[in-house]
Amino acid sequence: MNIKNYLDSTYLKTAHQAGLDEKENNKVVTKFIAEAITENFKLIMIRPEMVALAQKMITDAKSTVLVGTVIDFPEGSSTVENKLEEAKQAIEDGADDLDFVCNYEAFKEGDIDLVKNEVLQCTQLGLDHNKVVKWIIEVAALNDKEIIQLSSLIKNVVISNFKEEEYNNVFVKSSTGFYKTEDGLPNGATVETIIMMLENASPLPIKAAGGVRTYDEAVNMIRLGVKRIGTSGAKAIADGEDSQQEY
């Protein structure tokens, strides 16, 4: 197994979150992009404002690394119109993958129609432009029943509205990595949550994001059936080392 084919190398911190000024943070992003090119990871996952830079660096290097970005990150509570506008700009800038944060709070409050509508419209936009779409459900904010229900909802919207050959381009993704949990509970992918997602989102693929920090953990996730792994410690994992990153 070439584990690099599964790794979405990820850096999503703002300068403020990283405790850096903008120039220093941009240097970190550039380093992550350059590393993804050198290591030939599946994808570099960065914030929307860095997509154009990543595409230029990848094109200049004649690399096959994909560029992914996040939409309505990390809360997911914007309107569908805002999500669509942000996604359109990312597409224009050259993003290959669009990782939308699902409005999980609306889902928890019972506004199912709102969630179905955003999944339908945003997925349609992505597929119409030949992009991969991922729906982040933020498992740490949900109980087991909600994880099952939201995974099923996304699956049902997709299979009811899109062609079977498009299913592989619509993922359900576990986490943003930015959700604040209490008492040290995990805020990303766990084996238990990934199994629930796999069982209830199939035939849609699953991306395990957050909490995968070692080569063995990554291999275990792949053996369970995940198709992508989001991590800010991609190189450490690929080298068989333990990642010291929090995501």
Catalytic-role residue among 13, 99, 131, 235? 99
Task: Identify whether 207 is a catalytic site residue.
Answer: yes
Distance CA 78, CA 3 (A): 35
- Please check whether residue 39 is in contact with residue 4, taking contact to mean a CB–CB distance below 8 angstroms: yes
Q: Which two tokens stand for residue 112?
A: 């199912």
**CA 223-188-19 angle, 5° bins:** 130
Task: Identify whether 13 is a catalytic site residue.
Answer: no
Which residue has tokens 């999944």?
119
- Please check whether residue 67 is in contact with residue 32, taking contact to mean a CB–CB distance below 8 angstroms: no
Task: Identify whether 173 is a catalytic site residue.
Answer: yes
* Residue 229, H or E segment: strand 228-231
Which residue has tokens 């999980």?
104
Residue of 204, 179, 206 whose CA lies nearest to 193 = 206
Task: Determine the straight-line distance between the first and last CA of the chain, rounded to whole angstroms.
Answer: 23
Q: Output phi, psi for 77, to 5 deg.
A: -100, 5
Catalytic-role residue among 13, 131, 173, 235? 173
Distance CA 63, CA 47 (A): 20
Q: Is the dihedral of CA 107, 112, 114, 115 positive or negative?
A: positive
Distance CA 173, CA 136 (A): 5
Q: Which two tokens stand for residue 78?
A: 């914007």
Residue numbers annotated as active site:
99, 173, 207
